[in-house]
Amino acid sequence: MVFLLAASWGVSYVFIKVAVEDIEPAPMMATRALLAGLLLFPYLAVTMGSRRAARALRTHWRPAFVLGALNAAVPFWLVAWGEKHIDSSIAGIAQATVAIFTFLLAARFLPHESVGFTRILGVAVGFVGVAVLAGFDPAGGWIAVAGTLAVVLSSLSYAASGVYGQLSVQTVPGPVLATGSMLAGGLILLPLALFQLPTHVPGAEAIGSLLALTIWARRSRNCCCSDFSGCTAPGEFPWSPI
């Protein structure tokens, strides 16, 4: 299961790298998020009833919107833009800073999280490790540095969504947040996406990678998780197609 989880996480960056060659980050990630939300809603309707599901989405639209921004729109776009300028392997390494940012934010905003010397040392070692593996001066010049920093900023956004989830949305059902946040994330990106629509029909590889990114990669990853509060991020739940 651990190897499947690692593989499904890693292959997402490959799919993004292939798709972003033909599709700009905003339309690619808006499509990804909206399609994910549309695929999730039937599950929600079956398990809760269509009227109850729609009512739940309306009731919890505020946390869904916040998570749609922090856990979808912002990091999705940053990772995709970053991968226009760096290799997918570098993006995957830079994304490892999620754990570091989560610790730093949790230490500030979650009083029950203890901060000791061992944890601080672990964060410092982790930061140095990511920097060494990603490269202090990656090939490609300043634009490659900017691409790496974009992925690092996406990690900060993911970490913020995790802390927000623990502070504000513990009582909201995971499937409702998953559906609502993906729809919200797609809608946030939609205005920018409309200005970056492809001037030609994307190739089969780009379309296939986008569909695989949306349906297969996150589904395989979340199949390894046993509950909403485990390894799934806020806005996701087991069997999520994103």
pLDDT at residue 129 tops 80: no
Residue 237 lies in a domain: no
Q: How confident is the model at residue 172 (pLDDT cuts 50, 70, 90)?
A: confident
The predicted pLDDT at position 110 comes to: 77
Residue 238 lies in a domain: no
- Cα torsion for 200, 203, 208, 214, to the nearest 10°? -30
Radius of gyration of the chain (CA): 18
DSSP one-letter string for 221-239: HHHT--STTTTSPTT--TT
Contact 32, 214 (CB under 8 A): yes
Residue 48 lies in a domain: yes
Min mean pLDDT across 2-11, 17-26, 96-105, 209-218 is at 2-11
Q: Which residues lie closer than 8 Å to 95 by C-beta, 6 or more apart?
A: 13, 79, 151, 154, 155
pTM for the model stands at 0.83
pLDDT at residue 136 tops 70: no
The predicted pLDDT at position 165 comes to: 86
Looking at residues 55-70, what average pLDDT do you find? 93
Residue 137 lies in a domain: yes
Tell me what percent of the chain is helix, strand and coil, each rounded to the nearest 5: 75, 0, 25
Residue 72 lies in a domain: yes
* pLDDT, tens digit, 9 for 90 and up, residues 219-238: 544 444 444 444 444 334 43
End-to-end, the C-alpha distance of the chain in Å comes to 18
Q: Which tokens is 231 given?
A: 């390894």
State the Cα–Cα distance between residues 58 and 50, nearest whole angstrom.
Answer: 12
Contact 40, 178 (CB under 8 A): yes
- Burial (CB count within 10 angstroms: exposed 0-12, middle 13-18, buried 19+), residue 84: middle
Residue 180 lies in a domain: yes
pLDDT at residue 173 tops 90: no
Number of domains comprising the chain: 1
Percent of the chain with pLDDT over 70: 73
Residue 133 lies in a domain: yes
Among candidates 136, 31, 49, 43, which has minimal Cα distance to 93? 136
Write out the residue range of the structural domain in which residue 112 sits: 2-223
Contact 103, 118 (CB under 8 A): no
Q: How many CB atoms lie within 10 A of CB 101?
A: 21
Residue 158 lies in a domain: yes
